[in-house]
């Protein structure tokens, strides 16, 4: 939809819906930013941001793409003619997702964040949600030290012998908004078998993709690996504010690891 058509459509918004500028204002507040920070992050003038927020300027396709990188939403999301107004309700501390980054999300918060589209986990299985973490599972292939790609899907298995390592990735694809991070840790059940998990410590804000890592068997026994088995755990944490991304960092944060 063109910017002109969307601008015309806002005149007939149903009661209770937000215009794009009103929704952008709410998103800016949610992310803990101001118009100056949004201007720097998107590379457009503060006056343009102010015009959009106050309904004097429509969101163009180019601006929608910039807002998508900043907020974690798609560019098509920002090209909508209207947005539903969220009902204001008194939320208990148990139900809040703690937008000011004061703690790790617990089980019911993780489920809510995924179901409401704040965190993208695909595929998502509630059975993998722990008290304050989420287990991620093995993909359908492992890469051996010799470079061979071994299929471990549909019940097939790979025997990781002592002293050997394989490269693997998660079946789940992750999409983090720009105001959340993740912390990666090994599962205790594999550590007890002598499996050492080598991976990056943090899932960066705005990250999109599967997680890639190395499994090394430091134990005396061979360990079976099968597609779909839980292999690592992540903790999910909101930040107190959204970092300001430059073009290089924004591009790097979306590369698949």
From first to last of the 257 residues of the chain, give the pLDDT tens digit.
444 444 444 344 445 688 999 999 988 888 778 888 888 888 899 999 999 999 999 999 999 988 988 887 888 889 999 888 866 555 443 345 544 445 889 898 899 899 888 899 999 999 999 999 999 999 999 999 999 999 999 989 999 999 999 999 999 999 999 889 999 988 888 988 999 998 888 999 999 999 999 999 999 899 999 999 999 999 999 887 788 876 544 444 444 34
Instruction: State in Å, rounded, how far the first CA of the chain is from the last one.
Output: 34
Residues 41 and 153 in one domain: no
Question: Looking at the domain assignment, is residue 72 inside a domain?
Answer: yes
95 in any annotated domain = no
Instruction: Looking at the structure, tell me whether residues 148 and 112 fall in a common domain.
Output: yes
Is 100 part of a structural domain of the chain? no
The maximal CA–CA distance of the chain, rounded, in angstroms, is: 70
In a shared domain, residues 79 and 111: no
Specify whether 120 is located in the same domain as 217.
yes
Q: For residue 246, what pLDDT is reported?
A: 67
Tell me which residue range forms the domain holding 34. 3-84
**Burial of residue 182 (number of CB atoms within 10 Å: 0-12, 13-18, 19+):** buried
Residue 92, in any domain of the structure: no
Structural domain contains residue 127: yes
Q: Is residue 118 part of a domain?
A: yes
What string of H, E and C letters represents the secondary structure of the chain?
CCHHHHHHHHHHCCCCEECHHHHHHHHHHHCCCCHHHHHHHHCCCHHHHHHHHCCCCCCCHHHHHHHHHHHCCCCCHHHCCCEECCCCCCCCCCCCCCCCCCCCCCHHHHHHHHHCCCCEEECCCHHHECCCCEEEEECCEEEECCCCEEECCCCCEEEECCCCEEEEEECCEEECCCCEEEEEEECHHHHCCCEEEECCCEECCCCEECCEEEEEECCCCCEEEECCCEEEEEEEEECCCCCCCCHHHHHHHCCCC
Q: Are residues 143 and 246 in the same domain?
A: yes
The domain boundary residue, chosen from 53, 84, 115: 84
Shared domain check, 160 and 116: yes
What pLDDT is recorded for position 87?
Answer: 61
Residue 68, pLDDT score: 84
pLDDT of residue 60: 93
Residues 74 and 172 in one domain: no
**248 and 121: one domain?**
yes
Q: Which of 84, 116, 146 is the last residue of a domain?
A: 84
For residue 89, being part of any structural domain is answered with no
Q: Is residue 76, in this structure, part of any structural domain at all?
A: yes
> Which CATH number covers residue 71?
1.10.260.40
Check whether residue 29 and residue 136 sit in a common domain.
no
How many domains in the chain? 2
**pTM (2 decimals)?**
0.60
Residue 97 has a pLDDT of 53
- CATH number where 223 lies: 2.70.40.10
Domain check: are 76 and 163 in the same one?
no
Whether 73 and 197 map to the same domain: the answer is no
Same domain, 134 and 239: yes
């Amino acid at each position: 939809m063109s910017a002109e058509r969307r601008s015309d459509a806002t005149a007939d918004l149903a009661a209770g819906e937000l215009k794009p500028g009103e929704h952008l204002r709410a998103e800016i507040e949610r992310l803990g930013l101001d118009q100056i920070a949004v201007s720097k992050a998107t590379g457009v003038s503060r006056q343009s941001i102010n015009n959009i927020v106050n309904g004097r300027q429509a969101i163009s396709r180019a601006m929608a793409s910039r807002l998508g990188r900043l907020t974690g939403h798609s560019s098509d999301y920002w090209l909508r003619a209207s947005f539903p107004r969220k009902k204001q309700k008194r939320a208990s501390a148990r139900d809040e997702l703690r937008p000011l980054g004061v703690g790790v999300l617990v089980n019911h918060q993780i489920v809510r964040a995924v179901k409401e589209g704040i965190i993208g986990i695909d595929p998502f299985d509630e059975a993998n949600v722990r008290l304050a973490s989420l287990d991620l599972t093995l993909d359908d292939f492992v890469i051996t030290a010799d470079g061979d790609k071994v299929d471990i899907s549909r019940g097939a298995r790979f025997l990781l012998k002592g002293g050997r390592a394989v490269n693997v990735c998660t079946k789940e694809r992750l999409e983090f908004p720009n105001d959340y991070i993740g912390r990666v840790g090994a599962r205790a059940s594999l550590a007890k078998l002598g499996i050492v998990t080598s991976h990056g410590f943090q899932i960066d804000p705005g990250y999109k993709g599967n997680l890639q890592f190395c499994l090394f068997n430091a134990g005396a026994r061979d360990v079976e690996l099968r597609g779909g088995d839980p292999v690592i755990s992540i903790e999910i944490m909101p930040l107190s504010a959204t970092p300001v991304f430059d073009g290089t960092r924004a591009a790097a944060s979306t590369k698949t690891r």
